[in-house]
Structure 1
Amino acid sequence: MLRVRDLEAFYGPSQALFGMELGIDAGEVVTLMGRNGMGKTTTVHAIMGLMPARRGVVEFEGQRVDQFPSFRIARLGFGLVPEGRQIFPNLSVRENLIAASANRTGRPSPWTIERVYEFFPRLGERQRNMGNQLSGGEQQMLAIGRALMTNPKLLILDEATEGLAPLIRQEIWSCLGRLKGEGQAILVIDKNVGALIALADRHHIVEKGRVVWSGTSQALAGDRDLQHRYLGV
């Protein structure tokens, strides 16, 4: 579904990505893992067209998209849950969801507000509340629901559970597991190694703007030295 090859990106004169490589197949859950400042969010921004790639190729369903503007990339079937959630604070929960509603890819059973409320009952309870009246966990649920309302082929979550209470984190992981069970392709960034190993099919560890290791959950779980070297604090 998604193929990224030899991707390079810069902030002004400073290079941030050095030949990033990753791939996601339909129905897969794949991670980008690594310490802060290693290029994970930059990779997402380059894939989504939010920052220009100086070199490399991004292909989605066989079509090269690295020169497309971000709105056109989104319309192909990308749903982004950005770091920091970035919901609309002055819109209600319902209005946030309606604002993103689309089914451009013609999904036969599209996401609707009612289905999002079933998925996240707390959003249904708070549907008339403004975005800035929600807790951090509720805002993250709303950000995920908003992305689902675009009916994405690929859902991208940047820092899926950062700053959330343990019970809310567990709820988010459970929901992502349900999405995986429905065949939703997901690219997820997070620091919770145990939860990512339990959820994902494959992992990419990023160090200083490049992938230094790729492999399965089984391989990552069995290599404590690798986890300590690249993911430990």
Structure 2
Amino acid sequence: MLTVSGLKTFYGNSQALFGMTLEVRAGEVATLMGRNGMGKTTTVHSIMGIIQSQEGDIQYEGQSIRGLSSYAVARRGIGLVPEGRQIFPNLTAHENLVATAANWGNQKTPWTADRIYDLFPGLAARRSSMGNLLSGGEQQMLAVGRALMTNPNLLILDEATEGLAPLIRNEIWKSLEALKGEGLSILVIDKNVKDLARIGDRHHIVEKGRVVWTGNSQELLADEELMHRYLGV
């Protein structure tokens, strides 16, 4: 579904990605792991067209999307849950959801606000609350719901559970498992290795702007030296 190959991205004269390569197949959960500052968010921003890469290619569903603007990438069917949530603070939770609603791919059973509330029952009780009055966990649920309201074929989450309480983290992971069960392709960045290994099918470890290891969950958990070297666990 998504193939990133040889991606090089710069901030001015400073190079952030040095030939980034990764793959997400249809219906699977793939992950990007690595310490802070290694290029994970830059990779996501390059895929989404928020930052334009200078070399390499990004193939999505058989077509190159490198060089497209971010709105054009979203219309192709990629939904983003950004780091920091970035919800609209002066809109209610419900307004945040309907503001992004679209069905560019003509899904037969598109996401609706009611389906989002079924996925996150705690958010339903806060549907009339302004975005800036929601807790961090509620904002993250809303950010996931807002991305789903675009009816993507691929969902990307940047720091899926960062800074969240354990109960909320569990709810986010449960929701991702449910989405995987529905066949949605997912690319997720997070630091919770055990949770990523539990739901992930393919893992990519990033070091200094390139992928240095790719494998499945069994291979990841079996290599303690690998995790210590690149993930600090």
- The letter of the residue matching 1:148 is L
Aligned-pair CA distance for 1:69:
1.1
Size of the aligned set, in residue pairs, is 233
Partners of 1:8 and 1:193 in 2: how far apart?
26
**Do structure 1's residue 169 and structure 2's residue 169 form an aligned pair?**
yes
Aligned-pair CA distance for 1:122:
1.1
Q: Partner residue of 1:213? A: 213
Q: Partner residue of 1:45? A: 45
Aligned-pair CA distance for 1:70:
1.1
Partners of 1:187 and 1:220 in 2: how far apart?
17
| TM-score scaled by length of structure 2 | 0.99
- The letter of the residue matching 1:185 is S
Q: Partner residue of 2:16? A: 16
- The letter of the residue matching 1:7 is L
Q: Residue by residue, what CA displacement relative to the aligned partner does 1:98-152 show, whole Å, maximum 9, x if unpaired?
A: 0010111011111000000111011110000000010000000000000000000
Residue aligned with 1:53, SS: coil
Q: Partner residue of 2:204? A: 204
- The letter of the residue matching 1:202 is R
Q: Partner residue of 2:30? A: 30
Partners of 1:136 and 1:30 in 2: how far apart?
25
Partners of 2:171 and 2:130 in 1: how far apart?
22
Partners of 1:68 and 1:172 in 2: how far apart?
30
Q: Partner residue of 2:232? A: 232
Q: Residue by residue, what CA displacement relative to the aligned partner does 1:51-91 show, whole Å, maximum 9, x if unpaired?
A: 11010000100101102111111100010000000000000
Partners of 2:73 and 2:175 in 1: how far apart?
25
- The letter of the residue matching 2:38 is M
Superposed counterparts of 1:68-107, under 5 Å: 68-107=68-107
**Do structure 1's residue 54 and structure 2's residue 54 form an aligned pair?**
yes
- The letter of the residue matching 1:102 is A
Question: Runs (4+) of structure 1 moved beyond 4 Å?
Answer: none
* Unpaired segments ≥5 residues, structure 1: none
Q: Partner residue of 2:134? A: 134
Q: Residue by residue, what CA displacement relative to the aligned partner does 1:1-40 show, whole Å, maximum 9, x if unpaired?
A: 0010000000110000000000111101000000000000
RMSD between aligned alpha carbons? Answer: 0.6
Partners of 2:102 and 2:216 in 1: how far apart?
34
- The letter of the residue matching 1:132 is N
Superposed counterparts of 1:105-116, under 5 Å: 105-116=105-116
Residue aligned with 2:211, SS: strand
